[in-house]
């Protein structure tokens, strides 16, 4: 499983795939069973599955909500690898 951290790398990988079917599951991390069921369906239905883990700072009105948003990136990456995800896109806000 590849972990991609910037859009240029993602575009390069995507362009190399040609017309293969790619499932994309966008998330904010802190993955749970609902996310896992979407990922399982994508893996089943597509030749490649990409999951994003991105917390958009601008969507939080209260800065404390962002500070307390759960981050379990290592656990999330382990779970996604076990589910057969091909790539995880984890940009930071500046990317």
Nearest Cα neighbor of 90 from 28, 16, 40, 11 is 28
C-alpha 54/C-alpha 17 separation (Å) is 23
**Residue 35 catalytic?**
yes
In this structure, are residues 95 and 5 in contact, taking their beta carbons and an 8 Å threshold? yes
In this structure, are residues 66 and 40 in contact, taking their beta carbons and an 8 Å threshold? no
Which is the catalytic residue, given 35, 39, 50, 53? Answer: 35
Active site positions, annotated: 35
């Amino acid at each position: 499983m590849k972990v991609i951290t910037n859009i240029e790398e993602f575009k390069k990988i995507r362009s190399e795939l040609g017309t293969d079917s790619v499932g994309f599951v966008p998330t904010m991390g802190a993955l749970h069973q609902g996310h896992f069921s979407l990922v399982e369906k994508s893996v089943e239905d597509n030749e490649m599955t990409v999951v994003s883990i991105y917390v958009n700072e601008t969507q939080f009105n209260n800065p404390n909500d962002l500070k307390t948003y759960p981050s379990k990136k290592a656990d999330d990456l382990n779970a996604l690898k076990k589910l057969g995800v091909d790539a995880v896109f984890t940009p930071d806000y500046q990317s």
